[in-house]
Structure 1
Amino acid sequence: MTARLGLGTYRCLDVCEAAAMAASQGADWVDTAPNYESGQAENSLAMVLGMYPDLHVSTKVGFVADSAKRLGVQAGALSAEDAERGHCLAPDYVGWQVARSKRRLGRTPDLVFLHNPEHHCASEEIADRLLVAFLALEEACSNGTISAYGVATWRGFSSGLLDVGTLLELASKAGGPQHHLRAIQLPISMVHLAPVAHALDGYGVLVDAVEAELEVFASAPLHGGEITGMITQELSDLIRPGSTPVQSALAVVASAPGVRRVLLSTGNREHWRQAADAVGQPPLSRETLRRITDVLGT
């Protein structure tokens, strides 16, 4: 299986503890954002990143943590209106926030995702919003503030507002043929099966990402923990006989064409071990994935 389990910190109450646990169990990636853990997630990760220099880290820019609003306005990087709105992808703010993230993490992040660029954005404005943000991120890559960037979205691809082809076109405008767009992040789960079904039919965001050599990060693989109450043992056995509902759900996500990282939010060591075992198994066959999408729909 090409997918690997990574730590997503959105739901982690103690990011430092969760990251230390995951790293001690062999995790090689942790994903965070400046607004997670009440605005302290990046600071919380710094100690763990120092202890595990081979642990990769991605963060985000877009949502403005409450603790950053006053500082951003004082720095001239954030307008009062955007601070009140709580989301900003203006170039001055992007540059200011990624530099702040690097300081707080104590190292250059491996990836910085634009965080839900579709947030309060009309369809006719999304291309311009992305282009100016990509320009700021390419500048950050050039000066060594970040290593690469991507787009993390909840509904951008499913709504049709975003597509991989447009992202590549805008990245090329911003950075030329050697642009630094490297990844996308989107929800894939037993609730969000459409990307999997489309990929089995040979089209869609996952197929496009593979062709573009973009890494795919699957977020919310358990849909906030709701999956366990939705999967019967009969369905679990259809997916992988003898597996638990959580393990079978993770197996589906990890087997989705093109998925490279499955981001699980947990601080529980046993939950992590079970998840790592599920993701580490051989991938489900396309026939099994097809049966699942046929049974559950998209």
Structure 2
Amino acid sequence: MRECDPRIVLGLHRSRYERRILTSALELGVDAIDTSFNYLGFSAHTALATAGRGLLPRFKISTKVGFFPTAGRAEHSLDPDRLREAMEQSNRDLGRAPDLVFLHNPERSLTGSFPAAQDRLGTACAAVERAAAEGLCGGWGISSWDARPLPSLVDGTTPRPDVVMVRAGLTAGIDVLEASEALAAGWDLGIAQLWGMSPFGGRATDPLWDKVDPRVFIQDPDEGLSAVQAAFRTAYQLPRVGRTAVGTDNPSHLRELIAALRYEANADTLLTYRRLLRERTARQSV
């Protein structure tokens, strides 16, 4: 068994929740998993508890609340009572308190005027923070697919999360990247407190990774480095994050991603890339 590497979180968004990937993750040194109250048709926690019977105490578990079942579909809400109920049910379904609970995509319910949106965000954050203080989870955070609306809503009165998780990698636009960095800066979060997710913008098997060569962003790449590995390693710099949540049901793929972490990103190439993204966005807005 390898020594645990805190830089990778096994994401379970599209997972089949099989015991095999959990045992393989532990053998490969990955002891953190990320799921959500609404994954797998709102049955992810019970599926994880079943597949991981006897294993879950060995994992650090993060989950999310914010989506709720209604009339055969999912709806988003920042209602404090519903968030609390989801956290309580998560504890029951997992058979333990998760180590971290994210407020899931709060931007989905932050439309409308500035004062009202800011108040909704602050109230929801306070509800999750209070639940954490009462032992329903070890800590709390915000997980945002599109952080652009959030930085302007954060001020000194907004509860400060332990962790923020944001979209990362080469498929994220410059506006999303910079909003994520601004959000982390607004809360004075360090690199270890900013996590990335969806480093491939979907699946690593997407034909996109056969058409582009992310190895240009890697310092001193060798013939053993694949395009998928390079894209994954680069995602840690777009934006700069301490951990990345990535999903797979294939132990070989997970092993490949772990191996990618021995490479270093090329800081100069990434600066040029970000400048070009910014210039293209500016031209498109004219």
**Looking at both structures, which has the greater relative contact order when contacts are Cα pairs under 8 Å and sequence separation is at least 6?**
1
Fold conserved (TM > 0.5)? yes
| Displacement of 1:55 | 1.2
| Displacement of 1:257 | 5.5
Report the 3-state secondary structure (helix = DSSP H, G, I; strand = E; otherwise coil) of the residue aligned with 1:50: coil
Q: Partners in 2 of 1:11 and 1:198 — Cα distance? A: 27
Report the 3-state secondary structure (helix = DSSP H, G, I; strand = E; otherwise coil) of the residue aligned with 2:162: strand
Equivalence for 1:74: none
Change (3 A) 1:34 1:234: closer
Q: Partners in 1 of 2:42 and 2:254 — Cα distance? A: 24
Q: Partners in 1 of 2:178 and 2:75 — Cα distance? A: 34
Equivalence for 1:80: none
Unpaired runs of 5+ residues, structure 1, are: 71-82, 172-178
Where do 1:67-78 residues align within 5 Å? 69=70
Unpaired runs of 5+ residues, structure 2, are: 282-286
Report the 3-state secondary structure (helix = DSSP H, G, I; strand = E; otherwise coil) of the residue aligned with 2:242: strand
Q: Partners in 2 of 1:89 and 1:62 — Cα distance? A: 6
Q: Structure 1 stretch 45-54 or stretch 133-142: which is displaced more? A: 45-54
TM-score of the pair, normalised by structure 2: 0.80
| Displacement of 1:138 | 2.5
8 Å CA contact 2:150, 2:183 repeated in 1: no
**1:274 and 2:256 aligned:** yes
- 1:222 is aligned with what amino acid? F
**1:55 and 2:59 aligned:** yes
8 Å CA contact 1:247, 1:275 repeated in 2: yes
**1:283 and 2:264 aligned:** yes
| Displacement of 1:121 | 3.0
Change (3 A) 1:117 1:16: farther
- CA offsets 1:118-164 (integer angstroms, 9 cap, x no match): 11431423212122212221221222111211111111x2x3x1028
> What RMSD in Å do the two structures reach over aligned CA positions?
3.1
Picking from 10, 32, 44, the partner of 1:7 is: 10
Q: Partners in 2 of 1:122 and 1:233 — Cα distance? A: 37
TM-score of the pair, normalised by structure 1: 0.77
8 Å CA contact 2:141, 2:162 repeated in 1: yes
Equivalence for 1:220: 198
- CA offsets 1:8-32 (integer angstroms, 9 cap, x no match): 1111133554333323321121110
- 2:157 is aligned with what amino acid? E
- 2:182 is aligned with what amino acid? V
8 Å CA contact 1:233, 1:245 repeated in 2: no
Report the 3-state secondary structure (helix = DSSP H, G, I; strand = E; otherwise coil) of the residue aligned with 2:269: helix
- CA offsets 1:32-66 (integer angstroms, 9 cap, x no match): 001111222111222527325231111111111x4
Q: Partners in 1 of 2:100 and 2:156 — Cα distance? A: 16
- 1:274 is aligned with what amino acid? E
| Displacement of 1:253 | 0.8
Q: Partners in 1 of 2:63 and 2:156 — Cα distance? A: 20
- 1:31 is aligned with what amino acid? D
* Aligned residues between the structures: 267
8 Å CA contact 2:66, 2:105 repeated in 1: yes
Equivalence for 1:204: 181
| Displacement of 1:193 | 4.8
8 Å CA contact 2:83, 2:127 repeated in 1: yes
